[in-house]
Amino acid sequence: QVSLVESGGGSVQAGGSLTLSCQVSGYAYNSGCIAWFRQAPGKEREGVAGLDNDGSARYSKNVEGRFTITRHSAKISPYGQTVYLQMNRVEPEDSAMYYCAADTLECRYGLGADRFAHWGQGTQVTVSG
């Protein structure tokens, strides 16, 4: 059973940095996408960054150049992996609940929330200033 657990959220001043972590277990597909989404009150869930098994990363235009998605281990392991979202030069508009998600289709198929099968519970990020 796939499990995703996010951590690292909190409050940060505008212009600062924050790193989110997603501990993934039970996921060992040969292809697929691990992605970060966010959802602010009253808004749709938005895909911000995705990472394929080969290390290819995709970003939404809102965060490209400021956010970086990485994986702790070079290879996918059924024993678990950790995927990070490094958030730099954060803005008040980045405030949202951030979710980690996984799907067997690669990220090049898009970061639409509807097609992701597995989700974590989310971690809140609040940017002030």
Tens-digit pLDDT profile for residues 9-63? 999 999 999 999 999 888 766 678 999 999 999 999 999 999 998 889 999 999 9
What is the token pair recorded at 40? 């602010």
Burial group, residue 93, by CB count within 10 angstroms (0-12, 13-18, 19+): exposed
Share of the chain above pLDDT 90, in %: 73
Instruction: Say if residue 76's pLDDT is above 60.
Output: no
Average pLDDT of the segment spanning 78-105 = 92
Instruction: Say if residue 104's pLDDT is above 90.
Output: no
Using CA atoms, how far apart are residues 28 and 58, in angstroms rounded to an integer?
20
The Cβ-side half-sphere exposure at 37, using a 13 Å CA radius, reads 27
75 vs 68, which has greater pLDDT? 68
